[in-house]
Structure 1
Amino acid sequence: MRLIKMQQLPKEHAILRIMARPSDVNAQGDIFGGWLMSQVDIAGSIVATRHIKARVVTVAANNFYFIRPVFVSDVVSIYGQIQKVGTSSIAIDIAVYIERKVEDDIVVEKVAEAEFVYVKIDELGQAKPI
């Protein structure tokens, strides 16, 4: 089996890696975009929480681009890095790649990208300075 790299996986470790399953498809048989957005939100919150070391909530999903469809059994790898840290918010740039078996080869493709913004909150759900 050969690894065909149409694109390279980022050198960093993936924040989240998960296989797309049949239960995650839309009416057309592709993976539902809402499922992918949910996985991206989880991954972004991991980056934000690790940096802030506190509870965060999602306040924005900006510029979410679905570049290519995701299929059942694709291995989805989500990468994120801090774009900006504000007074109480943190913006995370996210990139989503898949590894797909095609005949005897593995194809790597970037399938989505987005910016997610999180806000640090206290136990009452109020924004707190970072």
Structure 2
Amino acid sequence: MVADAATPVGDLTLRTLAMPADANAAGDIFGGWVMAQMDLACGIRAAERAKGRVVTAAVKEMSFAKPMKVGDTLGVYISITRIGRTSMTLQVEAWAQRYLSEVMERVTHADIIMVALDDDGKPKEIPPE
């Protein structure tokens, strides 16, 4: 991933509004809320690809470049970059569309590894596309 990306990479998988309950007293959205939305988006995309249940196995390095504010719309973009036997790596970008504006800024990005599970909670093979 390019650190100074000007446009989102990947498919828009989740879009939501940052609300006052997601913020601290200064109006900055909690980083944990952004991370949770990224995890939800990965779960959606990975479950579609695995055709079943998935869990988060790892989150590679994440740092926040820009703050999210109350009223911003968060867009989470996903690209599957690697598929193994039972796991996959997803490149995830979180972008803020600023309140009442066309301005989009990348808030953070990470690689997240998801594992496909069978009905007993054990890793299962990811089917071919």
One fold, TM greater than 0.5? yes
Q: 1:92 & 1:13 partners in 2: Cα distance?
A: 11
Tell me whether 1:67 sits opposite 2:61 in the alignment.
no
8 Å contact from structure 2 (residues 11, 79) kept in 1: no
Helix, strand or coil for the counterpart of 1:94?
A: strand
Shift of 1:63: 1.4
What is the aligned partner in structure 2 of residue 117 from structure 1? 113
Superposed, 1:41-80 pairs within 5 Å as 41-80=39-78
Helix, strand or coil for the counterpart of 1:112?
A: strand
Amino acid at match of 1:50: E
What is the aligned partner in structure 2 of residue 95 from structure 1? 93
**Aligned residue pairs, count:** 122
The structure that has the greater radius of gyration is 1
Q: 1:83 & 1:129 partners in 2: Cα distance?
A: 17
Q: 2:18 & 2:110 partners in 1: Cα distance?
A: 19
> Alpha carbon RMSD of aligned pairs, Å?
1.8
Normalization by structure 1: what TM-score? 0.85
Shift of 1:106: 3.0
Normalization by structure 2: what TM-score? 0.86
Moved over 2 A (4+): 6-10, 26-29
Cα deviation digits, residues 62-101 of structure 1 (max 9, x gap): 1122111100000111100101011110110001111113
Q: 1:74 & 1:63 partners in 2: Cα distance?
A: 24
Shift of 1:27: 4.9
1:82 equivalent among 73, 80, 83: 80
Amino acid at match of 1:65: S
Superposed, 1:11-26 pairs within 5 Å as 13-26=11-24
